[in-house]
Amino acid sequence: MKAARFTADEIERVAYLATKGYLPVAVDVASRVFQVCYYDLGAKHVRNYQLSRVKFFEFINDTHTPRKLIGIEACGSCNYLCRYIEDHNHKCHILPAQKVKAFLHLDKTDRIDALGILKALITPSMQHIPARTQENQYLLNLITVRDQLNKQFVQTVNAAHAFLYESGVVAGTVSVASATKVTEALKALCNTETEKENSEDDCSYSHLNCISESLLSNIESLQTKIKEINSHLLSYASNNEICSNLQTVPGIGKLSAVALYAAMGDPERFSSSRAFAAFIGVAPVTTGTGGKTTVLGIRKSGIQSIKKMLYMGAMVYLSQAMKNGTESSWLKQRLNQNRSKKIIICAIMNRLARIAYAIAKSGQAFDENKCNMIKKLR
């Protein structure tokens, strides 16, 4: 790759970082290969080449080369790689993917992406994301696993409900709460068909038995796993100071507190409470042109499981406030404006996330005297 791809200003920034003891290196991460790109001040040209996973870690472990400032784009394994790199006496910056896009070309190859990451890395105004700790990463993974198991549980109950309906049995409404009715109906259906099996020589019962055993086994197994995870999270919430402080906020329970803390990690990872709310997906989308600004609904992106928890908390908070009254002038104003409940709930979700960020950063419990938006329920 020709040196012309690097401007004089960019070469000067590389030289400045070198005087600080770090060689800026960009890495485009893939599952099995790594594209490494850096500017060689001695040879005065860009080196851009591919390494296998084994060779890359040898590259990091090499103590005979200068210390490196490694830039990687935010991806699935970025937190692990960042911790590994910093454990080996280098620095690592995780760069937001949206920010890196400005430095990429329309063509897309690993070489082009690595060069774009390098240019983003040496840009003074480029912000980077601190890596999650291993404990925080595993806690967030546990929240994700719990959410996946809940989805599987609902799917299995719905499948059992549909099977029973085809067999002429209606086992209540389709919901998580109907799991008990579904299991009872499956067992009852098996017992009924057993009597027919004794008088009729066919294979229908064996088919039914196989279906019922599979569904019942899956439902029972998923219920047990979800209960174990919930028990672990509730125990964690009781023993963690930040989670305990978050539970003092009206509308945030134990599981919501753990989920918010898991998503946040170190509050310093976010520049503001709004940045954290946007990360979760509860910050409103703002658009404007010609001097006119319009605030739209909340983003569709974000962490869906946490958004569901905040939605339930906000809905309960609003219903109780409407029933028993509230001291929050912010909420009173919105209720007096006859805004729809959905809009108010979304606004409360946003406020809950921002308050959670402020509490985690300050290390203090919720104080309604310092907050005019959310007040404790009477």
Average pLDDT by consecutive 10-residue portion of the chain (378 residues)? 67 90 94 93 90 94 90 93 95 92 85 93 90 94 94 91 86 66 86 59 77 92 95 95 92 93 91 90 79 73 88 87 74 77 88 92 84 59
- Amino acid letter, residue 26: A
| Residue 353: per-residue pLDDT | 93
- Give the count of domains, the chain: 3
| Residue 1: per-residue pLDDT | 43
User: Which residue, of 239, 261, 283, is where some domain finishes?
Assistant: 239
Q: Burial code of 267-295, b = ≥16 C-beta within 10 A, e = fewer?
A: bebbeebeebbbbbbbbbeeeeeeeeeee
Q: Do residues 86 and 110 lie in contact, with contact meaning Cβ atoms separated by under 8 Å?
A: no
The answer to the question of residue 378 being in a domain is: no
Pairing mode of beta strands 23-29, 68-73: parallel
d(CA 85, CA 81): 6
SS3 91: strand
One domain for residues 218 and 310? no
One domain for residues 271 and 365? yes
| Residue 111: per-residue pLDDT | 92
Q: Which two tokens stand for residue 227?
A: 């209960």
Q: Do residues 147 and 67 lie in contact, with contact meaning Cβ atoms separated by under 8 Å?
A: no
User: Which residue, of 87, 121, 155, is where some domain finishes?
Assistant: 121
d(CA 148, CA 154): 10
The CATH number of whichever domain residue 27 belongs to comes to: 3.30.420.40
Q: Which two tokens stand for residue 232?
A: 């672990």
Helices (H) and strands (E) in the chain, counts: 14, 7
The model's pTM is 0.84
d(CA 103, CA 117): 7
User: Which residue, of 214, 239, 264, is where some domain finishes?
Assistant: 239
d(CA 31, CA 28): 10
Single out the residue of 79, 81, 76, 75 nearest to residue 98, CA to CA.
75
d(CA 163, CA 166): 5
The answer to the question of residue 97 being in a domain is: yes
Q: Do residues 65 and 40 lie in contact, with contact meaning Cβ atoms separated by under 8 Å?
A: no
Phi, psi for 288 (deg, rounded to 5) = -170, 155
Q: Which helix (H) or strand (E) holds 286?
A: strand 284-289
Phi, psi for 92 (deg, rounded to 5) = -140, 130
The answer to the question of residue 377 being in a domain is: no
- Strand-pair partners of 295: 286
d(CA 296, CA 286): 6
d(CA 255, CA 227): 12
Q: Which domain holds residue 98?
A: 3-121
The answer to the question of residue 364 being in a domain is: yes
d(CA 330, CA 317): 14
